[in-house]
C-alpha cells in the first residue's frame, strides 16, 4: 500500500490527520509532520526522511505539503530529487484530497492515485450552490 506523509507549517498536518481519522477511522502508513518556527530546513528534511523509511513499504509515498514554494514543499522537492524511492508531491493540501488518497490507496498504485487525487483536490474547492444562493 502507498504511504502518505503530510507536512505543514505548525500543527495543520496533525489536525488534518485527526480529521481524516474522524471520518475514515484509524489509518496505517500515514504520518503528519510539523515544521516549527525554530527548525531548520535540514532538521525538517531529516524528520521527513525518517518518516519515509517507516512508511515506505516499497510501493512509494505520496507527500502532501501545505503551500507551494514554502519550506515543507521545498524540502519535499529536495528529497524527491535526491531519493531513489517512489515519491510524488502535491502542494496545497486539504481534507478532501487526503480523504480521497486514503480511500483509494489500497487498490491503486502511486502513479494513478497521484493523478486522480490531484483532480479531486482542484475540484474540491466549492461555494454556495446556484440553487441556494440568495438573489
Partner 1 sequence: MTVTHVRMDNRLIHGQVLVSWKSHIEIDHLIVTNDKVASDPLQITLLKAITPIGAKISVFSIEDCVAYCKSKEAENEKIFIIAKLPEDGFALVEKGLDMEMLNLGNQAFVRGAKKLSNTVYMTESGVKSLRKLHEKGIRITCRMMPTDPDTDYWPIIEETFPEWI
Pick between residue 37 and residue 131 the one whose CB is nearest to partner 1: 37
Least distance (Å) between residue 69 CB and partner 1: 5
Pick between residue 70 and residue 104 the one whose CB is nearest to partner 1: 70
Least distance (Å) between residue 38 CB and partner 1: 6
Residues near partner 1 (CB under 8 A) are 9, 37-43, 67-71, 73-74, 77-78, 81-82
Least distance (Å) between residue 77 CB and partner 1: 5
Cα 55 to chain center, whole Å? 13
Query: How far, in Å, CA of 2 to CA of 35, rounded?
Result: 23
Amino acid at each position: 500500500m502507498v504511504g502518505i506523509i503530510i507536512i505543514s507549517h505548525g500543527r495543520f498536518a496533525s489536525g488534518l490527520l485527526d480529521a481524516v481519522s474522524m471520518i475514515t477511522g484509524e489509518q496505517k502508513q500515514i504520518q503528519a509532520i510539523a515544521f516549527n518556527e525554530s527548525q531548520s530546513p535540514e532538521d525538517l528534511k531529516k524528520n521527513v526522511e525518517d518518516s519515509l523509511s517507516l512508511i515506505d513499504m516499497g510501493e512509494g509515498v505520496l507527500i502532501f505539503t501545505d503551500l507551494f514554494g514554502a519550506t515543507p514543499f521545498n524540502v519535499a522537492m529536495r528529497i524527491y530529487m535526491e531519493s531513489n524511492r517512489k515519491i510524488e508531491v502535491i502542494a496545497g493540501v486539504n481534507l478532501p484530497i487526503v480523504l480521497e488518497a486514503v480511500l483509494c490507496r489500497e487498490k491503486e498504485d502511486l502513479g494513478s492515485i497521484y493523478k486522480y487525487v490531484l483532480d479531486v483536490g482542484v475540484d474540491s474547492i466549492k461555494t454556495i450552490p446556484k440553487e441556494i444562493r440568495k438573489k
